Amino acid sequence: SQQGEEDPQALSIQEGENATMNCSYKTSINNLQWYRQNSGRGLVHLILIRSNEREKHSGRLRVTLDTSKKSSSLLITASRAADTASYFCATDAGSSASKIIFGSGTRLSIRP
């Protein structure tokens, strides 16, 4: 089974609202990353948070990491139509640091 699992699987919100997606993982990690995928395209890296960090910001993105709960959240503030995409978390497999595993993703739709 996959290392990371996102919740919810799908999310539909009004433009301007905030979107929150959650990721849970199973083993200890070095880093956790979030990626975005527009329909039919390759994934694009959004943000990386290290295991010794609790929160990180990048523009309208805010990521938190709780290693005790093995979970992370991605918050997108003031959503825009262009934020419509699928979002994935990715973790290394701890002892196999270069083995990067993805979750099943959250499909975000922004309504105008």
Partner 1 sequence: DAGITQSPRHKVTETGTPVTLRCHQTENHRYMYWYRQDPGHGLRLIHYSYGVKDTDKGEVSDGYSVSRSKTEDFLLTLESATSSQTSVYFCAISGSPTGELFFGEGSRLTVL
Q: Which residues bind partner 1 (CB under 8 A)?
A: 2, 6, 30-31, 33, 35, 40-45, 48, 88, 90, 92, 96-105
Q: Residue 88 Cβ, how far from partner 1 at the closest point, in Å?
A: 6
When the beta carbons of 15 and 37 are compared against partner 1, the nearer one is 37
- At residue 75's C-alpha, the angle toward residues 98 and 36, to 5°, is 50
When the beta carbons of 81 and 99 are compared against partner 1, the nearer one is 99
What is the torsion angle, in degrees rounded to the nearest 10, for the CA atoms of residue 21, residue 90, residue 85 and residue 49?
60
Q: Residue 11 Cβ, how far from partner 1 at the closest point, in Å?
A: 15
When the beta carbons of 15 and 84 are compared against partner 1, the nearer one is 84
H helix or E strand, kind and range, residue 90 = strand 85-93
When the beta carbons of 99 and 111 are compared against partner 1, the nearer one is 99
Q: Residue 30 Cβ, how far from partner 1 at the closest point, in Å?
A: 5
Q: Residue 110 Cβ, how far from partner 1 at the closest point, in Å?
A: 21
- The one-letter code for the residue type at 52 is N
Q: Can you tell me which residue has the tokens 């959250």?
A: 106
Q: Can you tell me which residue has the tokens 């739709």?
A: 109
Q: 48: number of CA atoms within 13 Å, CB side?
A: 9
